[in-house]
A and B are shown apart, each in its own frame.
Chain A
Amino acid sequence: MPEAPDVLEETVTVEEDPGTPTSHVSIVTSEDGTTRRTETKVTKTVKTVTTRTVRQVPLGPDGLPLLDGGPPLGPFADGALDRHFLLRGGGPAATLSRAYLSSGAGFPEGPELRDSSSYGSLSRGLGVRPPRAGPLGPGPGDGCFTLPGHREAFSVGPEPGPPGGRSLPERFQAEPYGLEDDTRSLAADDEGGPELEPDYGTATRRRPECGRGLHTRAYEDAAVDGGELTDERPAFPAVTAPLAQPERAAWAAWTGWCGASPSVDSARAGGTLSCLRCWPMRPPTCNICALRTRVSSGVYGSCGGCHCLWRCWTTRWAEVRRRACGALRNLSYGRDTDNKAAIRDCGGVPALVRLLRAARDNEVRELVTGTLWNLSSYEPLKMVIIDHGLQTLTHEVIVPHSGWEREPNEDSKPRDAEWTTVFKNTSGCLRNVSSDGAEARRRLRECEGLVDALLHALQSAVGRKDTDNKSVENCVCIMRNLSYHVHKEVPGADRYQEAEPGPLGSAVVSQRRRRDDASCFGGKKAKGKKDGEMDRNFDTLDLPKRTEAAKGFELLYQPEVVRLYLSLLTESRNFNTLEAAAGALQNLSAGNWMWATYIRATVRKERGLPVLVELLQSETDKVVRAVAIALRNLSLDRRNKDLIGSYAMAELVRNVRNAQAPPRPGARLEEDTVVAVLNTIHEIVSDSLDNTRSLLQARGVPALVALVASSQSVREAKAASHVLQTVWSYKELRGTLQKDGWTKARFQSAAATAKGPKGAPSPGGFDDSTLPLVDKSLEDEKTGSRDVIPMDALGPDGYSTVDRRERRPRGIGSAGEASEKEPLKLDPSRKAPPPGPSRPAVRLVDAVGDAKPQPVDSWV
């Protein structure tokens, strides 16, 4: 056996599987504190017979092995177990010195990523892994914890600092010991024996999260599942399959090492976690399971569980990594934000991002992005995620999976987007963080390639007619959020501000179609209209010439996006997507700048108005609301206003009527929606006699009056009265109205009670993840604040607990957590979905409660 510390040659006895030749780097720290980093080529030979020097490590009363400072390299001399425990600290002597133990080296320290090297070396020794019955997952099917070279992905980083004398005990336990240990390790509270499921069975503490395991992989690796990691000893798996001696020894050593805390719950947690910490070598199902259970009890943070997990991440053992990721994801799931805060405090976000960069295992990537999705529903973490993860998420996931190419090859066909789970999770995460305010929006807009990639992905979705999936929903929501306040926030917006519409720029943009100003509804010609309004000059949409293609955030407001959004509105059946697309149009049409003017006109020219009007018939409240507000903003364009007044009035009035007396089952609208519709009506009847006539023709007045009288909501009543007041202001119509039996009192009475300028604007509370869509029109800018819901005022991202509304990580749509991960989902998503409050309806105007709400009756 090698004597020299820096000659690492080991022979691993593999019980079943042939070893995989690997090379790895090990860092050996001699006892005197010097560190050597050695690269070793390992040649493994398969031996079927193992002769080992077995040393029974006597355990002290406290469970710690009594170290006798065994011969240096003694164990190494042992063919099988050498290098097993390469201690950072010691040369071959790698003895688990009690001093080390007592010094408490290391554990409660910061993220132990730097220990990866030592883990690496450990794992080398544990080259053998009991064969796994189940698939190992995307990793190399080595079935063992070998150190595949490629696992180096995130292996040792820069040499860790002075090793805290972290030594790994080089104790091997004889097989008999192992067996005995099994019994012993099953502490009283261990319910189960070895778990054959990957669902970490800490039997006692089996919790739902625990149950799932990272993957529903059929790990029948008997060796792995094992008892629970108890305090004193990690559950030694009841290895039925031959567990490599080295592993067992390692296990035992670790056990001893970690040893010892009295079995108290908190101590157990601490002990468990510390065991976990030093346990990078094998995929400790039990460990992670135990960890998870602890997590739920909130011990996680305080025990520095994150450290453990991160250490696990850096391990070479794919399974450990995956499980650690899964555990972390479970942790991050749920409405309880303590765990998320704990993850943040441990520096989890940067670690996750690093892991994402480094990991090639798709499952790990899914888990990591899922965790980030969950975390992103937690308000304080949003900016943190942006800070650390935006670039990575964009470049590692969004851009590649979207099919967008930065430097498109002219000849090649544009690639399609790949709707992977990783993409879904990442888009979900970005959706959440994009709702975090102006700064967040700015960062996302300016992130290179993000907007381009998202648009490309959406266009690819439309092209393939695959617009109902969750990833598309997420992307559209991001686009909507980023479109919010573009007119104020993008660099150079000032240039485009218009106090009043002026003539457009001179040049003709080649791509623009020069259309006649044909109304999308049918042949109304704009020329006939003497409107002196903004868009008079925009009949033929002359856009300023672009010398180069727009890119980045500029794409947000190019008129080309109109077609995209309209396609989504036409094709998608996903209500969230519809809402978001309408919201994007709403956001883009707001604002007093040139691009908004273009957008409004483009919507009309692209025959978008009928699409929107038709969506007013939707049964889904939020869609109706978003569309109504979009129409309202679009009607800032005079021509739009006329068209909308003519063709949309019937639908709008119908919605009002539904609000007052639902004629159809299930047609009762929410207050916010009704207020949005009323505001839209108000917008289009203001300053337009024709539209007001349309309102009368659509029998809107009775509906409005009835609503004022019967509505339980003060806001609705106010908004309706406001409309009535405006109607009354047209003297020409008073005759007609009085002839129909309406008295002035009807119109004025409500108005008298209506305070506030614009009725009760409906801010349109939106889900967390989406920005408030409402962006009042220009005129309302001053009072617009009422309508604009500050994003921060929105409740937690409902998104977080996405899917499943629990599923987050899995994407909201995906089956969520249930499958493997815990059904946490931050939001609806699975697993730790972000808290998913569904919608915090922000009421800007407090409903001053009526003492007795009017009785409501419904027609069924």
Chain B
Amino acid sequence: MSYIPGQPVTAVVQRVEIHKLRQGENLILGFSIGGGIDQDPSQNPFSEDKTDKVNGWDMTMVTHDQARKRLTKRSEEVVRLLVTRQSLQKAVQQSMLS
């Protein structure tokens, strides 16, 4: 999907629930994240998954740091993510068409 800045976007999302692992005294998720509104999107090192929400926190307008913080809150053992990805969108569209 293409995003036009400033325009509302509709997206197909997938809910993902992850329980954090305990590593030492920290809770980790086990993956890396990249991006953020303060980052250059063309250099996004990772896949096309985009996170829309984390545990209810909006992730569509966050900087990298904020995103990381929201994912790594110590107090939350579970993160519920709403992710969206292009392939998902396409799959849904196709299934709707057919």
Contacts and interface: CB of A to CB of B under 8 A. Distances in A.
Interface string A782-795: 00000000000000
Nearest to A859: B32
B31 to A, nearest CB: 7
Contact of B40 (A662, A853, A857): A853
A666 B64 CA distance: 11
B28 A856 contact: no
A62 B35 CA distance: 69
B31 A855 contact: no
Nearest to B40: A852
A212 B32 CA distance: 48
A860 interface: yes
DSSP majority for the A interface? loop
A855 B26 CA distance: 25
Interface in B8-41: 26-29, 31-36, 39-40
Contacts of A668: 65, 68
A855 B68 contact: no
Interface residues of B, number: 25
B40 A666 contact: no
A38 B65 CA distance: 71
Interface string B68-80: 1101101000000
B43 A852 contact: yes
A662 B64 CA distance: 13
Interface in A631-679: 662, 664-666, 668
A110 B75 CA distance: 57
Contacts of B29: 860
Interface string B50-65: 0000000000000011
Interface string A844-856: 0000000011111
A855 B28 contact: no
A857 B72 contact: no
Nearest to A851: B40
Contacts of B26: 664-665
Given A854-B43, A860-B33, A665 B27 contact: yes
Contacts of A662: 68
B45 A857 contact: yes
A45 interface: no
B44 interface: yes
A858 interface: yes
A838 to B, nearest CB: 15
Interface in A317-353: none
Contact of B33 (A666, A852, A858): A858
A853 B39 CA distance: 7
B8 to A, nearest CB: 26
A665 B45 contact: no
A855 to B, nearest CB: 4
A770 B8 CA distance: 45
B3 interface: no
Contacts of A855: 34-35, 39-40, 43-45
Contacts of B32: 857-860
A665 B43 contact: no
A859 B64 CA distance: 11
A665 B65 contact: no
Contacts of A858: 32-34, 64, 67-68
Interface in A658-710: 662, 664-666, 668
Nearest to B29: A860
Nearest to B34: A857
Given A665-B26, A665-B27, A665-B28, A856 B69 contact: no
A666 B39 contact: no
Contacts of B65: 668
Interface string A817-860: 00000000000000000000000000000000000111111111
B46 A857 contact: yes
Contacts of A854: 43
Given A666-B69, A668-B65, A668-B68, A859 B28 contact: yes
A706 to B, nearest CB: 14
A856 B72 contact: no
A854 B36 CA distance: 12
A668 B65 CA distance: 8
A856 B71 contact: no
Contact of A857 (B28, B33, B71): B33
A746 to B, nearest CB: 21
B27 to A, nearest CB: 7
A15 to B, nearest CB: 58
Contacts of A853: 39-40
A857 B33 CA distance: 5
Contacts of A856: 34, 36, 39, 64
A852 B27 CA distance: 32
Contacts of B40: 852-853, 855
B18 to A, nearest CB: 10
The 4 A-B pairs at the shortest CB distance, nearest first, are namely A665-B72, A857-B34, A855-B43, A858-B68
20 contacts: A664-B26, A665-B28, A665-B74, A666-B72, A852-B43, A853-B39, A855-B35, A855-B40, A855-B43, A856-B39, A856-B64, A857-B46, A858-B34, A858-B67, A858-B68, A859-B31, A859-B32, A860-B28, A860-B33, A860-B68
Given A852-B40, A857-B32, A860-B72, 12 more contacts: A662-B68, A665-B28, A668-B68, A852-B42, A853-B40, A855-B44, A857-B45, A859-B28, A859-B31, A860-B29, A860-B31, A860-B32
